[in-house]
Structure 1
Amino acid sequence: MKTITFSLALLLGGFLLLIAASPLQAQAEVDFPAQKEWKEKWSNSLAYTLEALAAIPDSSLHYRPTANQMSVQEQIQHISGNVYGLSRRFLGYEPEGFDEDALRELLAEEDLSRKELISMITDAYAFGTAAVESLPAAGWEEMVPNFFAGPRSKRVIVYLLQDHATHHRAQLLMYLRMMNIKPPRYRGW
Protein backbone atom coordinates (compact mmCIF):
# COMPACT_ATOMS: atom_id res chain seq x y z
CA MET A 1 0.00 0.00 0.00
CA LYS A 2 2.85 2.39 0.83
CA THR A 3 4.42 1.69 -2.59
CA ILE A 4 1.16 2.50 -4.40
CA THR A 5 0.63 5.68 -2.38
CA PHE A 6 4.24 6.74 -2.98
CA SER A 7 3.92 5.99 -6.74
CA LEU A 8 0.68 7.96 -6.95
CA ALA A 9 2.27 10.85 -5.08
CA LEU A 10 5.24 10.84 -7.50
CA LEU A 11 2.91 10.66 -10.48
CA LEU A 12 0.71 13.44 -9.13
CA GLY A 13 3.76 15.56 -8.26
CA GLY A 14 5.22 15.06 -11.74
CA PHE A 15 1.90 15.98 -13.31
CA LEU A 16 1.63 19.14 -11.22
CA LEU A 17 5.22 20.06 -12.07
CA LEU A 18 4.46 19.55 -15.76
CA ILE A 19 1.37 21.77 -15.56
CA ALA A 20 3.26 24.45 -13.65
CA ALA A 21 6.26 24.33 -16.03
CA SER A 22 4.23 24.56 -19.26
CA PRO A 23 3.28 28.25 -18.87
CA LEU A 24 6.86 29.01 -17.81
CA GLN A 25 8.20 27.33 -20.94
CA ALA A 26 5.71 29.17 -23.13
CA GLN A 27 6.62 32.45 -21.43
CA ALA A 28 10.34 31.73 -21.84
CA GLU A 29 9.84 31.26 -25.59
CA VAL A 30 7.82 34.45 -25.86
CA ASP A 31 10.47 36.38 -23.93
CA PHE A 32 13.43 34.68 -25.64
CA PRO A 33 15.85 37.64 -25.61
CA ALA A 34 18.36 36.33 -28.17
CA GLN A 35 15.62 35.95 -30.77
CA LYS A 36 14.17 39.37 -29.99
CA GLU A 37 17.61 41.02 -30.19
CA TRP A 38 18.45 39.21 -33.41
CA LYS A 39 15.18 40.32 -35.02
CA GLU A 40 15.88 43.95 -34.11
CA LYS A 41 19.39 43.79 -35.61
CA TRP A 42 18.01 41.96 -38.66
CA SER A 43 15.45 44.70 -39.20
CA ASN A 44 18.21 47.33 -38.94
CA SER A 45 20.31 45.30 -41.35
CA LEU A 46 17.57 45.40 -43.98
CA ALA A 47 17.05 49.15 -43.49
CA TYR A 48 20.80 49.77 -43.85
CA THR A 49 21.03 47.59 -46.96
CA LEU A 50 18.07 49.40 -48.53
CA GLU A 51 19.70 52.76 -47.74
CA ALA A 52 22.90 51.63 -49.44
CA LEU A 53 20.98 50.40 -52.46
CA ALA A 54 19.01 53.67 -52.63
CA ALA A 55 22.25 55.66 -52.83
CA ILE A 56 23.36 53.79 -55.95
CA PRO A 57 22.14 55.36 -59.21
CA ASP A 58 20.05 53.19 -61.52
CA SER A 59 22.82 53.50 -64.11
CA SER A 60 25.23 51.81 -61.66
CA LEU A 61 23.23 48.72 -60.65
CA HIS A 62 25.65 46.67 -62.76
CA TYR A 63 28.74 48.40 -61.40
CA ARG A 64 31.57 46.12 -60.34
CA PRO A 65 35.00 47.40 -59.29
CA THR A 66 36.84 44.64 -61.14
CA ALA A 67 35.84 41.91 -63.56
CA ASN A 68 36.06 39.18 -60.93
CA GLN A 69 33.79 40.90 -58.37
CA MET A 70 30.02 40.76 -58.12
CA SER A 71 28.03 43.70 -59.43
CA VAL A 72 25.68 45.68 -57.20
CA GLN A 73 22.77 43.60 -58.51
CA GLU A 74 24.67 40.35 -57.95
CA GLN A 75 25.47 41.36 -54.36
CA ILE A 76 21.75 41.82 -53.66
CA GLN A 77 20.93 38.54 -55.39
CA HIS A 78 23.67 36.77 -53.46
CA ILE A 79 22.54 38.11 -50.07
CA SER A 80 18.96 37.14 -50.89
CA GLY A 81 19.83 33.67 -52.11
CA ASN A 82 21.93 33.02 -49.03
CA VAL A 83 19.09 34.01 -46.69
CA TYR A 84 16.73 31.60 -48.45
CA GLY A 85 19.33 28.85 -48.58
CA LEU A 86 20.44 29.01 -44.94
CA SER A 87 16.87 29.36 -43.70
CA ARG A 88 15.58 26.40 -45.67
CA ARG A 89 18.50 24.02 -45.67
CA PHE A 90 19.91 24.52 -42.18
CA LEU A 91 17.07 26.02 -40.13
CA GLY A 92 14.52 23.70 -41.72
CA TYR A 93 12.10 26.44 -42.71
CA GLU A 94 9.85 25.27 -45.54
CA PRO A 95 6.68 27.36 -45.77
CA GLU A 96 3.78 25.89 -47.66
CA GLY A 97 3.58 27.07 -51.26
CA PHE A 98 7.22 28.15 -51.50
CA ASP A 99 8.16 28.32 -55.20
CA GLU A 100 11.80 27.27 -55.46
CA ASP A 101 11.80 27.44 -59.26
CA ALA A 102 10.60 31.06 -59.27
CA LEU A 103 13.28 31.97 -56.74
CA ARG A 104 15.98 30.24 -58.76
CA GLU A 105 14.91 32.19 -61.88
CA LEU A 106 14.90 35.50 -59.99
CA LEU A 107 18.36 34.85 -58.56
CA ALA A 108 19.66 34.12 -62.07
CA GLU A 109 18.14 37.24 -63.71
CA GLU A 110 20.77 39.42 -65.33
CA ASP A 111 18.93 42.74 -65.49
CA LEU A 112 16.67 43.57 -62.56
CA SER A 113 15.23 46.99 -61.88
CA ARG A 114 15.77 48.81 -58.59
CA LYS A 115 12.16 48.01 -57.68
CA GLU A 116 12.77 44.29 -58.30
CA LEU A 117 15.99 44.36 -56.27
CA ILE A 118 14.24 46.11 -53.36
CA SER A 119 11.43 43.57 -53.48
CA MET A 120 13.89 40.67 -53.65
CA ILE A 121 15.97 41.74 -50.65
CA THR A 122 12.91 42.74 -48.62
CA ASP A 123 11.24 39.39 -49.29
CA ALA A 124 14.44 37.53 -48.41
CA TYR A 125 14.76 39.34 -45.08
CA ALA A 126 11.09 38.60 -44.33
CA PHE A 127 11.75 34.95 -45.11
CA GLY A 128 14.75 34.93 -42.76
CA THR A 129 12.67 36.59 -40.04
CA ALA A 130 9.94 33.97 -40.40
CA ALA A 131 12.52 31.18 -40.28
CA VAL A 132 14.04 32.47 -37.05
CA GLU A 133 10.61 33.16 -35.53
CA SER A 134 9.61 29.55 -36.25
CA LEU A 135 12.64 28.27 -34.35
CA PRO A 136 11.84 27.70 -30.65
CA ALA A 137 14.43 28.67 -28.04
CA ALA A 138 15.57 25.06 -27.65
CA GLY A 139 15.88 24.78 -31.43
CA TRP A 140 18.74 27.26 -31.43
CA GLU A 141 20.89 24.61 -29.75
CA GLU A 142 19.99 21.80 -32.19
CA MET A 143 22.97 20.64 -34.18
CA VAL A 144 23.17 20.86 -37.96
CA PRO A 145 25.41 17.91 -38.81
CA ASN A 146 25.66 18.55 -42.56
CA PHE A 147 26.80 22.18 -42.51
CA PHE A 148 29.63 22.74 -45.01
CA ALA A 149 32.00 24.01 -42.28
CA GLY A 150 31.29 21.01 -40.05
CA PRO A 151 28.61 20.41 -37.42
CA ARG A 152 27.21 23.66 -36.01
CA SER A 153 24.26 24.64 -33.87
CA LYS A 154 21.29 26.36 -35.47
CA ARG A 155 22.27 29.33 -33.29
CA VAL A 156 25.43 29.66 -35.38
CA ILE A 157 23.34 29.53 -38.56
CA VAL A 158 21.08 32.31 -37.22
CA TYR A 159 24.14 34.45 -36.53
CA LEU A 160 25.55 33.57 -39.94
CA LEU A 161 22.47 35.02 -41.63
CA GLN A 162 23.40 38.39 -40.15
CA ASP A 163 27.14 38.04 -40.66
CA HIS A 164 26.87 37.09 -44.32
CA ALA A 165 24.49 39.94 -45.10
CA THR A 166 26.82 42.37 -43.31
CA HIS A 167 29.81 41.13 -45.30
CA HIS A 168 28.15 41.71 -48.67
CA ARG A 169 26.53 45.00 -47.65
CA ALA A 170 30.03 46.19 -46.70
CA GLN A 171 31.08 45.46 -50.26
CA LEU A 172 28.20 47.64 -51.49
CA LEU A 173 29.37 50.40 -49.16
CA MET A 174 32.86 50.15 -50.66
CA TYR A 175 31.34 50.32 -54.15
CA LEU A 176 29.64 53.57 -53.13
CA ARG A 177 32.97 55.03 -52.03
CA MET A 178 34.56 53.91 -55.31
CA MET A 179 31.76 55.70 -57.18
CA ASN A 180 32.49 58.79 -55.06
CA ILE A 181 29.09 58.56 -53.32
CA LYS A 182 28.84 59.06 -49.59
CA PRO A 183 27.49 55.86 -47.98
CA PRO A 184 24.57 56.05 -45.59
CA ARG A 185 25.32 56.50 -41.91
CA TYR A 186 25.93 53.29 -39.94
CA ARG A 187 22.83 51.88 -38.26
CA GLY A 188 23.93 48.68 -36.55
CA TRP A 189 22.36 49.19 -33.16
Structure 2
Amino acid sequence: MKRLFFFFVFISYPIMAQQLTPKSAFLEKWKNSKEYLLEMATSMPEDKYVYTPTEREMDFKNQLLHICGNMLWLSTTYFSDEVFDRKKLAKNAPGSKAEVIKLLEKSFDEVYERVKNTTEESLTAEVDFFAGPKSKLQILNLLQDHVTHHRGQLIVYLNLSEIKPPKYVGW
Protein backbone atom coordinates (compact mmCIF):
# COMPACT_ATOMS: atom_id res chain seq x y z
CA MET A 1 0.00 0.00 0.00
CA LYS A 2 2.84 2.36 0.87
CA ARG A 3 4.45 1.71 -2.51
CA LEU A 4 1.21 2.51 -4.27
CA PHE A 5 0.95 5.81 -2.39
CA PHE A 6 4.50 6.83 -3.33
CA PHE A 7 3.89 5.75 -6.92
CA PHE A 8 0.86 8.09 -7.19
CA VAL A 9 2.74 10.93 -5.50
CA PHE A 10 5.70 10.40 -7.83
CA ILE A 11 3.46 10.35 -10.93
CA SER A 12 1.15 13.21 -9.90
CA TYR A 13 3.80 15.65 -8.65
CA PRO A 14 4.96 16.80 -12.11
CA ILE A 15 1.33 17.28 -13.17
CA MET A 16 0.50 19.25 -10.01
CA ALA A 17 3.68 21.32 -10.32
CA GLN A 18 2.83 22.14 -13.92
CA GLN A 19 -0.60 23.44 -12.86
CA LEU A 20 0.87 25.62 -10.14
CA THR A 21 2.98 27.94 -12.26
CA PRO A 22 1.74 31.51 -12.56
CA LYS A 23 1.19 31.08 -16.29
CA SER A 24 -0.70 27.79 -16.05
CA ALA A 25 -2.81 29.12 -13.17
CA PHE A 26 -3.67 32.21 -15.23
CA LEU A 27 -4.55 30.17 -18.32
CA GLU A 28 -6.83 27.86 -16.35
CA LYS A 29 -8.58 30.81 -14.69
CA TRP A 30 -8.77 32.68 -18.00
CA LYS A 31 -10.75 29.85 -19.64
CA ASN A 32 -13.23 29.87 -16.77
CA SER A 33 -13.43 33.65 -16.79
CA LYS A 34 -14.24 33.54 -20.49
CA GLU A 35 -17.08 31.04 -20.03
CA TYR A 36 -18.51 32.96 -17.09
CA LEU A 37 -18.55 36.30 -18.91
CA LEU A 38 -19.98 34.71 -22.06
CA GLU A 39 -22.84 33.32 -19.98
CA MET A 40 -23.55 36.84 -18.72
CA ALA A 41 -23.37 38.33 -22.21
CA THR A 42 -25.74 35.64 -23.46
CA SER A 43 -28.14 36.07 -20.52
CA MET A 44 -28.89 39.71 -21.26
CA PRO A 45 -31.53 40.13 -23.98
CA GLU A 46 -30.33 42.15 -26.96
CA ASP A 47 -32.81 44.96 -26.34
CA LYS A 48 -31.22 45.44 -22.88
CA TYR A 49 -27.68 45.78 -24.25
CA VAL A 50 -28.28 49.55 -24.08
CA TYR A 51 -29.29 49.36 -20.40
CA THR A 52 -27.38 51.53 -17.95
CA PRO A 53 -28.33 51.90 -14.28
CA THR A 54 -27.12 55.53 -14.08
CA GLU A 55 -25.94 58.12 -16.57
CA ARG A 56 -22.43 57.85 -15.08
CA GLU A 57 -22.16 54.22 -16.20
CA MET A 58 -21.46 52.62 -19.57
CA ASP A 59 -24.33 50.58 -20.95
CA PHE A 60 -24.15 46.79 -20.87
CA LYS A 61 -22.80 46.52 -24.43
CA ASN A 62 -20.11 49.14 -23.89
CA GLN A 63 -19.01 47.44 -20.67
CA LEU A 64 -18.36 44.31 -22.76
CA LEU A 65 -16.59 46.28 -25.49
CA HIS A 66 -14.48 48.05 -22.86
CA ILE A 67 -13.43 44.68 -21.46
CA CYS A 68 -12.46 43.52 -24.97
CA GLY A 69 -10.47 46.67 -25.66
CA ASN A 70 -8.55 46.41 -22.41
CA MET A 71 -7.77 42.73 -22.95
CA LEU A 72 -6.53 43.34 -26.49
CA TRP A 73 -4.49 46.39 -25.49
CA LEU A 74 -2.73 44.71 -22.57
CA SER A 75 -2.11 41.42 -24.35
CA THR A 76 -0.76 42.91 -27.59
CA THR A 77 1.32 45.57 -25.83
CA TYR A 78 2.93 43.29 -23.24
CA PHE A 79 2.70 39.77 -24.68
CA SER A 80 3.32 40.22 -28.42
CA ASP A 81 5.13 42.29 -31.00
CA GLU A 82 1.82 43.50 -32.41
CA VAL A 83 0.59 47.05 -32.10
CA PHE A 84 -2.90 47.57 -30.72
CA ASP A 85 -5.01 50.04 -32.65
CA ARG A 86 -7.75 51.28 -30.30
CA LYS A 87 -9.17 53.55 -33.03
CA LYS A 88 -9.58 50.58 -35.39
CA LEU A 89 -11.44 48.65 -32.69
CA ALA A 90 -13.74 51.63 -32.00
CA LYS A 91 -14.31 52.21 -35.73
CA ASN A 92 -15.26 48.55 -36.24
CA ALA A 93 -17.27 48.17 -33.03
CA PRO A 94 -19.86 45.44 -33.32
CA GLY A 95 -23.50 46.43 -33.39
CA SER A 96 -25.47 43.33 -32.52
CA LYS A 97 -25.41 41.13 -29.44
CA ALA A 98 -24.13 38.21 -31.55
CA GLU A 99 -21.28 40.33 -32.90
CA VAL A 100 -20.33 41.53 -29.40
CA ILE A 101 -20.27 37.94 -28.14
CA LYS A 102 -18.15 36.87 -31.11
CA LEU A 103 -15.66 39.69 -30.39
CA LEU A 104 -15.62 38.75 -26.72
CA GLU A 105 -14.79 35.13 -27.54
CA LYS A 106 -12.11 36.18 -30.03
CA SER A 107 -10.55 38.60 -27.56
CA PHE A 108 -10.36 36.00 -24.80
CA ASP A 109 -8.86 33.47 -27.23
CA GLU A 110 -6.24 35.93 -28.46
CA VAL A 111 -5.15 36.73 -24.90
CA TYR A 112 -4.99 33.03 -24.12
CA GLU A 113 -2.74 32.31 -27.12
CA ARG A 114 -0.44 35.26 -26.45
CA VAL A 115 0.04 34.28 -22.81
CA LYS A 116 0.40 30.60 -23.70
CA ASN A 117 3.24 31.53 -26.05
CA THR A 118 4.99 33.55 -23.34
CA THR A 119 7.74 31.87 -21.38
CA GLU A 120 7.32 31.47 -17.66
CA GLU A 121 10.70 33.16 -17.13
CA SER A 122 9.65 36.30 -19.01
CA LEU A 123 6.87 36.98 -16.48
CA THR A 124 9.45 38.52 -14.15
CA ALA A 125 10.53 41.00 -16.84
CA GLU A 126 9.78 44.60 -15.99
CA VAL A 127 7.79 46.62 -18.52
CA ASP A 128 6.95 50.28 -18.83
CA PHE A 129 3.39 50.92 -17.76
CA PHE A 130 1.54 54.21 -17.39
CA ALA A 131 1.29 53.57 -13.62
CA GLY A 132 5.04 52.94 -13.39
CA PRO A 133 7.26 49.92 -14.02
CA LYS A 134 5.43 46.59 -13.61
CA SER A 135 6.34 42.96 -14.18
CA LYS A 136 4.56 40.98 -16.86
CA LEU A 137 3.10 38.90 -14.04
CA GLN A 138 1.50 42.06 -12.68
CA ILE A 139 0.07 42.72 -16.14
CA LEU A 140 -1.45 39.20 -16.10
CA ASN A 141 -3.03 40.00 -12.74
CA LEU A 142 -4.34 43.27 -14.13
CA LEU A 143 -5.85 41.48 -17.14
CA GLN A 144 -7.91 39.23 -14.89
CA ASP A 145 -8.65 41.90 -12.31
CA HIS A 146 -10.03 44.29 -14.93
CA VAL A 147 -12.35 41.60 -16.32
CA THR A 148 -13.50 40.76 -12.79
CA HIS A 149 -14.15 44.43 -11.98
CA HIS A 150 -16.41 45.00 -14.97
CA ARG A 151 -18.01 41.57 -14.70
CA GLY A 152 -19.08 42.56 -11.19
CA GLN A 153 -20.78 45.61 -12.64
CA LEU A 154 -22.52 43.44 -15.23
CA ILE A 155 -23.90 41.20 -12.48
CA VAL A 156 -25.58 44.29 -11.03
CA TYR A 157 -26.96 45.21 -14.49
CA LEU A 158 -28.44 41.71 -14.83
CA ASN A 159 -29.97 41.85 -11.34
CA LEU A 160 -31.45 45.30 -11.93
CA SER A 161 -32.94 43.95 -15.17
CA GLU A 162 -34.47 41.10 -13.13
CA ILE A 163 -32.30 38.53 -14.89
CA LYS A 164 -30.68 35.91 -12.69
CA PRO A 165 -26.90 36.04 -13.23
CA PRO A 166 -25.14 32.78 -14.04
CA LYS A 167 -23.79 30.78 -11.13
CA TYR A 168 -20.33 31.95 -10.07
CA VAL A 169 -17.40 30.14 -11.60
CA GLY A 170 -14.08 30.26 -9.76
CA TRP A 171 -11.18 28.12 -10.80
Q: Normalised by the size of structure 1, how large is the TM-score?
A: 0.75
Cα contact 1:50–1:118 (8 A) shared by 2: yes
> What is the rounded CA distance, in whole Å, between the counterparts of 1:46 and 1:116 in structure 2?
16
Corresponding residue number in structure 2 for 1:103: 89
Report the residue type matching 2:109 in the other structure: A
Pick from 95, 116, 132: which aligns with 2:115? 132
Query: What whole-Å deviation, never above 9, does each CA across 1:26-72 have from its counterpart, x for those lacking one?
Result: x9xxx472211211110000100011111111110011111110111
> Which residue, out of 116, 120, 125, partners 2:103?
120
Moved beyond 6 Å, runs of 4+:
none
1:88, 1:94 within 8 Å by CA — same for their partners in 2? yes
Residue among 78, 81, 93 paired with 1:94: 81
Amino acid at match of 2:39: E
For residue 139 of structure 2, the aligned residue among 148, 152, 157 is 157
Counterpart of 1:103, as a letter, is L
Unaligned runs of 5+ in 1: 1-26
SS at the partner of 1:188? coil
Alignment length (residue pairs)? 154
Name 2:164's counterpart in structure 1.
Answer: 182
Deviation of the 1:105 alpha carbon: 1.8
Gaps of 5+ in 2: 1-13
What is the Cα deviation at residue 103 of structure 1?
A: 2.7
- Please say if residues 62 and 72 of structure 1, whose CA atoms lie closer than 8 Å, have aligned partners that are also in contact: yes
Q: 1:1-189 to 2 correspondence within 5 Å?
A: 31=18, 33-91=21-79, 93-94=80-81, 100=85, 102-106=88-92, 109=93, 112-144=95-127, 146-189=128-171
- Aligned identity (percent) is 35
- Provide the alpha-carbon RMSD of the alignment: 2.1
Kindly indicate whether the alpha-carbon contact (under 8 Å) linking 1:60 and 1:72 is maintained by their aligned counterparts in 2: yes
Cα deviation, residue 99, structure 1: 8.2
